[in-house]
Structure 1
Amino acid sequence: MTAWAQLVDQIFTVWREAGLVWKPRVRWFPRIPPHLDIVFGWLFDPADGDDADAILFCDERSWSPLHDIRDHAGGLQLPMIDIRGRAGEFADAAFDIMQPPTWSETARRIVGFRRQREKLAPQYRQTGEPDLQLLAHMYVSGRPLRGMRYPLTPEAVCYPGFFSAARVVPIAEELALRGLLRKTFLDRLHECRICRSRRLSAREECPSCRSADLRETGLIHHYQCAALLPEEQFRRGAALVCPKCSRQLRNYGKDYDRPGHAYVCNTCDATSSEPEVGFVCLDCSARMDGDAAERVDIFSYSLTDAARALLEGRGPMLAARMPVSLQREVARINATAGMRAGIAEIRFAGKEELIATHGPTAFRKSRDLLVENLRNRLAGVGSVHVAEDAVYILIERFEAQAEAWLRSLLLRSENLLRHKLDARLTIAKILGTAQP
């Protein structure tokens, strides 16, 4: 028996002790290196698509990005096993044929993923819906959607083990609105209003011309004439002479004092006690004032009990897209005799145009303000529930004129917005029966 064959037998022994009693089926990303095909062929069987136990990651390019591995590799319900040892948190486990501790780690992750997949309701094991894929991956992997600062991308944040931030954050935000994810604050960043990059250089700037070419100088206060000016304006060789009254200053504490510092602009010679804060975008070189850059909060996310119940098939069998809060209300109304309720669905025909013109933040702010306006106007009459692509209004006593009233209410609420959403309302469902 060759040394390689003996090593493979040792690995199989460790795997069996960890519960991996079958030969794992794997697919490679991006490809299997030629020099590994024989040995790894003894350890793993090849598989296509998601009909596998794991994904083996073996990218030999040391410079390639890691934040978007899952965008290309897919297989969110499969563990990603790092063969080269450079993926770190971006993989679920590392496997080194010469490092025995990694053998059991790999086995435990493969077995753990399979056991969790078996707990999923059948409809969620091979789902193609991005939001359900994300929930299922969080459940199967046992990982929260934990954000990490990552300056190599314009978003300046990534979520190791998941899709890239540009893909995963909008999905996670909608799932949080539906009550399926719980948000935890991570950080607050500033975003370029031109290219939406968050890689901004903060700097002190002249309030007059916004130049960053500032120098710091001491201030002198002349008691007799009340002059308060930079020291360099008093300096005449070794002497201090007031530029306002031309008297020489001789005694510190009697003729003058030094109350602090000022900043002098080398570009326009303006003097200021406090410089302004400005930003320069490192991606598009746009310059903006401190209050002009948009503030963006970034979060980590974790599964709620409602999400676990949904994934395990224990949740109410209602429309999968409905927010959890609305599902609960529907279940309550269906169990109440003599109640006639209506659900109105609002979708935004202007969403894509608004995002293309002003960015996703402008859309979210406009939608949230519309929801706030509706909630204020519906207080005591109905409730508002936000889903991934729509907003729902539940009216518990739905009368004949209710639809026309809701359309008028929606129009008045949208007219208050700076950025229009082109909101469209339809009656999605009538619940219960009319009262006698």
Structure 2
Amino acid sequence: MLMGVDGFALTPTANFVAYPRFHEEYRLPQGWLPAGRGDPVDAVVLTTSVPDHAFKTILSNIGDPLVPIVSLVADDRQGIDAAGQGEQLAWARAYAIQARLREMPPSIRHSTQPEDILLARIYSRGEGLNAIYDPSSRDLVRYPVAGTLDNVAELATGLYSKGYLARGFFDRIFCCPQCRSGHLSVREECHSCRSANISEEVVVHHFQCAHEAPESQFRSHSGFECPKCARPLRHIGLDYDKPGSVTRCDDCGAINDKPSVGFKCVDCGAHHAPDQVAVRTWYSYSLTAAGPRRILQGNDGASALVSAGPDRFRILLEHTRKEQREFGSPYQVARISFAHRDLIEAENVRLWEQSLLLVGDALHSALREVDAVRAQADGFLVLMPRTGPEDAARAMELVAARIKAVLKVDPGFQYVLIADMAARSVVSQQV
């Protein structure tokens, strides 16, 4: 067994791929060998600036989303684990990642499940899933540790719900309702035609006739005079004053006290009013104590981890089912949806988001303390222990009445009581 930089243990057959080639002036670290045809690849080393198309080809040919990729020149692209920090540091980074990868059981190291890959990358890189701003990303945010994985935010949310990850607030970013891009131009606009071609103009007040108008209307070929009474204006403070300003649209000529605010998507060009633009909350994540356990134990630790997570609804459902088996206690699970959701959301995204929050408040106020509520993409699940169908129906009627009392719009509340197996299936899909 050989010892590499920083004391990391290496096998003599650790293989690397250099692109475009390994220059003679670089020192080959002890314990690493250039990979031959058919050899496993333990690291990719970029020795010069690599075009995007070539980088994508390299990733495709390697096919292993956990292999460390380091660059001996500066390169901050997604998927590169270390770059431009000196030759020795780049190799040390590859050593550290490989050492952690070797700790993993095959079920994780070679898993094709995106959640396993994301957890393995977080663990092997030895740092959190930290969000950063990236103007080149459509979302305006990216997670460098995630490599080339897609839908990272959604994957991280699922891992958080299972207890693998803890999270902290990063930012709230407006996104285009049409294409979901975070590249939005927030601008002042004309109330009438929504053009951004507007200008501010001072208002003039003529004391003698009390006429007020934009300053441009007081200017004429003969000087400065009132457009209403035609008297000349010579002395500010005696003949006139300038009490404020207005906004003039240089396209349609409309005049308003203040401009409107609008959003224009830089990517798709769509225009949106402020109340139509959704807000997306972004988080940074770190492994909980259960995270490394899942990675190092593989599939054997999966069931213990699920029950250790914060999924209160699933835990209560399992407990309620046990009560039913032991004592014959009935229970009901209601699936709530909203028939008017698409209509309201299309007209005013922000209104629907606020309405959904009020629905959650109404549910918790109308139900018992022993009942459990879980939000879903299309509505809510409600677990009602020790409850028969008739009592559950009455509870849903109370919920409907409470929602009607607190919401300004009708969401089209509807519900269905689902059977035991259907309830377990729905809950399992969420974890």
Taking structure 2 as the reference length, what is the TM-score of the superposition? 0.70
1:248 aligns with 2:232: yes
Q: Does 1:104 find its partner at 2:92?
A: yes
Structure 1: runs of 5+ lacking an equivalent: 1-11, 431-436
1:232 to partner: Cα distance: 1.0
Please state whether the residue corresponding to 2:167 is helix, strand or coil.
strand
Match of 2:188 in 1: 204
> Aligned partners of 2:401, 2:59: CA distance in 1, in Å?
43
Paired amino acid for 2:21: H
CA distance in 1, matches of 2:308, 2:419: 16
- Of 312-321 and 391-400, more deviation after overlay is shown by 312-321
User: For 1:320 and 1:65, how far apart are their aligned partners in 2?
Assistant: 44
Q: 1:209 to 1:404 in 2, by over 3 A?
A: closer
CA drift at 1:125: 4.5
Is the 8 Å Cα contact of residues 100 and 123 (structure 2) preserved in structure 1? no
Q: Percent identity?
A: 26
8 A contact 2:49–2:75 mirrored in 1: no
Distance 1:69 1:99, change over 3 A: closer
Q: Following the alignment from structure 1 to structure 2, what is the Cα–Cα distance between the partners of residues 73 and 127?
A: 15
Matches of 2:295 and 2:334 in 1, distance apart?
25
Residues 205/402 of structure 1: CA separation in 2 closer, same or farther (3 Å cut): same
2:21 is equivalent to residue 35 of structure 1: yes
Query: Are 1:177 and 1:323, in contact at CA under 8 Å, matched by a contact in 2?
Result: yes
Deviations 1:315-363 (A, max 9, x none): 8637679863245546877999869575848599x9xx97xx97xx99x
Per-residue CA deviation, residues 115-157 of structure 1 (Å, 9 max, x unaligned), is 4x36xxx754444332343234323333222222222232222
Q: CA deviation at 1:162?
A: 0.9
Distance 2:39 2:335 in 1: 36
Residues 94-133 of structure 1, C-alpha deviations (whole Å, 9 max, x = no match): 489x833433333233224434x36xxx754444332343
* Residues 1:81 and 2:70 are matched in the alignment: yes
Match of 2:152 among 162, 168, 193: 168
Post-superposition shift, 1:399?
Answer: 4.7
Quote the offset at 1:233 in angstroms.
0.9
Q: What is the one-letter code of the residue matched to 1:236?
A: S
Q: 1:75 to 1:379 in 2, by over 3 A?
A: farther
TM-score, scaled relative to structure 1: 0.70
1:174–1:388 contact (8 Å) kept in structure 2: no
1:324 aligns with 2:319: no
Aligned amino acid, residue 35 of structure 1: R
Deviations 1:29-86 (A, max 9, x none): xxx5463499979833649999764455679543459899989966454433335542
Give, in whole Å, the separation in 2 of the partners of 1:379 and 1:77.
Answer: 47
Shift of 1:286: 2.1
Structure 2 residue 220 is matched with structure 1 residue 236:
yes
Q: Structure 1 stretch 220-229 or stretch 338-347: which is displaced more?
A: 338-347
Q: Could you say which residue in structure 2 is the equivalent of 1:23?
A: 12
What amino acid sits opposite 2:97 in the alignment?
R
Show the 5 A alignment for 1:227-306: 227-237=211-221, 239-306=223-290
Native 8 Å contact 1:92 1:109 kept in 2: no
Q: CA deviation at 1:231?
A: 1.0
Assess if the C-alpha contact under 8 Å between 2:125 and 2:145 holds in 1.
no
SS in 2 for 1:209: coil
Look up the SS of the partner of 1:317 in the other structure: helix
Is 1:192 the counterpart of 2:176 in the alignment?
A: yes
Q: Is the 8 A contact 2:20 2:48 kept in 1?
A: no
The Cα RMSD (Å) is 5.1
Change (3 A) 1:137 1:334: farther
Name the CA shift for 1:327/1:159 in 2 (closer, same or farther; >3 Å).
same
- 1:85-96 alignment to 2 at 5 Å? 85-87=74-76, 90-94=79-83
CA distance in structure 2 between the aligned counterparts of 1:367 and 1:129, rounded to whole angstroms: 32
Residues 159 and 165, structure 1, Cα contact 8 Å, conserved in 2: no
Aligned residue pair count: 404
| Contact residue 214 and residue 263 of structure 1 kept, 8 A | yes
C-alpha displacement of 1:169: 1.5
* Pair 269,404 (structure 1): closer, same or farther in 2 beyond 3 Å: closer
2:428 equivalent in structure 1: none
Contact 1:190–1:296, Cα closer than 8 Å, also in 2: yes
User: 1:284 aligns to what SS in structure 2?
Assistant: coil
